[in-house]
Amino acid sequence: MSEKRKAVRTYHRNLAIVLGILLLIFVCIPLFVKSPYVLNIFVLVFYMSTLSMAWNLLGGMTGQNSLGHAAYMGLGAYASCLLITKAGINPWFSAILGMVIVGLVAGIIFYPCFILRGPYFTLVSIAFGEALRQFIINSAFFGRASGVGLPFGRDSWLNFRFGSKIPYYYVGLAMLLLVYLLMKKIERSKMGYALRTIREDEDAAAAIGINPTRYKIMAVVVSAMVAALVGFFYASYIRYIDPELMVLAKSTESVLPAVVGGAAYVEGPLVGGLIMIPLSEFLRAKYSSILPGINMLMYAVVLLIVIRFRPTGILGWYMHSKLKTFVDTKILRKPPIEVLEEVELAKMSGKE
């Protein structure tokens, strides 16, 4: 037993070292990279991956394919912007209020919609996003098609306003990590099991005592709230928002990192985002003046190739690859799953 424990401890230590090094790299990047262009790409990776993780809670984990996440993000951006500009509320506080508002709106709107299954839910999510966008375009309060701007001014943590990109980089990274930990926590919790059961089969879920509607609402509310947080971050970063933020194409864009990376895994959107977004931005910067749309074209091609040849995404491929075996045995020194399980169970019962 003690030998097994030691092996598990070594594995956990190695895992912590590898993850620590990765994190350290990301923390140190702004110390060496001063180009605002490169930093901008990282900020983009952070918030788009976060948005994609929000989608993945609903799409990947619960099997409800939403194509309306740009709308939640947009609504969150609008809510926090208007709270800042019209009500004079502190940005940090209005971010929280915005999340609550969007969570409520999503919950109320989707409560009746969750009697719909499969493609119907996707269609309603598109219609909801478009209806919301049209509503904003027609509403003077929301600034119609011309949008809402946030005031510029001196750098301030209190007002979450900076001339440099570096503070946004760190806040974005923190947001990404927090949301990742939240998703990881959900995945391992009762809610995570309920959501995955619903994804596999709603009738089977009901048969073991899961109320599918209740859990789907929980998923949609959490997902929409995270999207609203991303909206707040986006608005604070760009300092200007308009209804274009909520078009269907943006919702699609928020899904791509998850599907390319592997929608069945919490890490999928991170892997997909880290690979796809820099590539897309590089293409956009390099060729968009001669060939507009080339970055999205590349996105589409990669998406089609992944779905056609690697339906479980990059991570799905990695999980069954020789690379993983190599990493597990040689670098992490991962003990066999039975040993891990035994030690884990022993540890858990020791705790009580």
Partner 1 sequence: MSDSKIIEVQHITKRFKGLTAVKDVSFSVREGGITGMIGPNGAGKSTTFNMICGYYPPTEGKIFYKGQDITDKKAYEYTNMKIARTFQIMKPLKNLSVLENVVASSYFGHAAAKNEREAKERAMEILQFTGLYEKRHILSKDMGTPDQKRLEMARALATRPEMLFLDENMAGLNPAETEAAIQLIRKINESGVTIFLIEHIMQAVVSLCEEVIVLHHGEKIAEGTPAQVMNDPYVMEVYLGKKEGANA
Partner 2 sequence: MSTFLQACVNGLLMGGFYSLMGMGQNVIFGVMKIVNFCHGEMLMVGMYLTYFLCTTFGLDPYLCVPLVAIIMFFLGAVIQHTLITPSLGTKSFTNLLFLTVGLGLLLSNGALVLFGSEYRTIPTSYSQVYINLGPVTLALPRLISFGVLIVVSIALFAFLKYSTIGKQIRAVSQNPVGAEVVGINTKRIYILTYGLGTALAGIAGALLTGFYTIFPTAGASFGFRALIVVVVGGLGSIPGAFFAGIFLGLLETMVALFISPSYSDLIVFVTFIVILVVRQLIIIRRK
Positions in the binding site for partner 2 (CB under 8 A):
59-60, 63, 65, 67, 112-113, 115-116, 118-120, 122-124, 126-128, 130-131, 134-135, 137-138, 248-249, 252, 255, 259, 263, 291-294, 296-297, 299-301, 303-304, 307-308, 311
Q: What are the φ/ψ torsions at residue 153 (nearest 5 degrees)?
A: 170, -165
Shorter beta-carbon distance to partner 1: residue 75 or 210:
210
Shortest distance, CB of residue 154 to partner 1, whole angstroms?
Answer: 48
Question: Would you tell me how many other CB atoms lie within 10 Å of the CB of residue 193?
Answer: 15
Considering only CA atoms, which of 52, 38, 39, 11 is closest in space to residue 271?
52
Find the shortest distance in angstroms from Cβ 8 to partner 1.
16
Measured from the CB atom, the residue of 85 and 213 that comes closer to partner 1 is: 213
Which positions lie near partner 1, rule CB under 8 A? 188, 190, 193-194, 196-197, 200-201, 203-212, 264, 337, 345, 348-349, 351-352
Shortest Å, Cβ 234 to partner 1: 33
CB of 307 to partner 1, least distance (A): 17
Task: Report the partner that residue 21 touches, choosing among partner 2, partner 1, none (CB closer than 5 to 8 A by kind).
Answer: none
91 by Cβ neighbours in 10 Å (0-12 / 13-18 / 19+) ranks as: buried
Interior CA angle at 178 toward 172 and 182, to 5°? Answer: 145
Would you state the structure tokens that stand for residue 165, as one six-digit string? Answer: 């990109």
Give the shortest CB-13-to-partner 1 separation in angstroms: 22
Confirm if 145 and 243 have CB atoms less than 8 A apart: yes
When the beta carbons of 50 and 66 are compared against partner 2, the nearer one is 66
For residue 101, give the nearest of 6, 262, 232 by alpha carbon.
Answer: 232
**Residue 135 interacts with which of partner 1, partner 2, none, CB < 5 to 8 Å by class:** partner 2
Q: How far is the CB of 261 from partner 1 (least distance, A)?
A: 16
Query: Per-residue DSSP letters for 260-321?
Result: HH-TTSTTHHHHHHHHHHHHHHHHHHHHTTTSTTHHHHHHHHHHHHHHHH-TTHHHHHHHTS
- Please give the full DSSP string across 205-270, using - where no structure is assigned: HHHTT--HHHHHHHHHHHHHHHHHHHHHHHHHHH-EE-GGGGSHHHHHHHHHHHHHH-TTSTTHHH
Which lies closer to partner 1 via its Cβ, residue 35 or residue 349? 349
346 binds, among partner 1, partner 2, none (CB under 5 to 8 A by kind): none
Task: Specify the residue, 13 or 188, whose C-beta has the smaller distance to partner 1.
Answer: 188
For partner 2, which is the closer residue by CB, 87 or 290? Answer: 290
Closest CB to partner 1 among residues 34, 320? 320
Q: Residue 157 has which token pair?
A: 């943590």
